Structure 1
Amino acid sequence: MSDSNTTEFTNPSTFILLGIPGLEAAHVWISNPFCAMYAIAILGNFTVLFIVKREPSLHEPMYYFLCMLAVTDLVLSTSTMPKILAIFWFNSREIDFRACLAQLYFIHCFSAIESGIFVAMAVDRYVAICHPLRYFTILTNRMVVKIGLAVVLHGSLLALPYPFLARRWPYCRTNIIPHTHCEHMAVVKLACADTHISSYYGLFVVFCGIGLDVFFIVVSYIQILRAIFSLPTKDARLKTFGTCSSHLCVILAFYIPILFSSLTSRFGHNLPLHFHVFIGNMYLLVPPMLNPIIYGVRTKQIRDRLLQILTHKGTKVFSWCS
Structure 2
Amino acid sequence: MSFIDAELVQRIHNDFLDSYDEELELEMEDRIYFQDNDLDSPTQSPESKEYRQLYFRELFRLQAELVKLQDWVAATGHKVVVIFEGRDAAGKGGVIKRITQRLNPRICRVAALPAPNERERTQWYFQRYVSHLPAAGEIVLFDRSWYNRAGVERVMGFCTDEQYEEFFRSVPEFEKMLVRSGIQVIKYWFSISDEEQNLRFLGRIHDPLKQWKLSPMDLESRRRWEHYTKAKEIMLERTHIEEAPWWVVEAVDKKKARLNCIHHLLQQMPYEEIKRPTIDLPEREYHEDYARRPVPKDMFVPDIY
Q: Which TM-score bucket, shorter chain as reference? A: 0.3 to 0.5
Higher strand share: 2
Greater gyration radius: 2
Higher helix share: 1
- The one of the two structures with greater contact order (alpha-carbon pairs below 8 A, sep at least 6) is 1
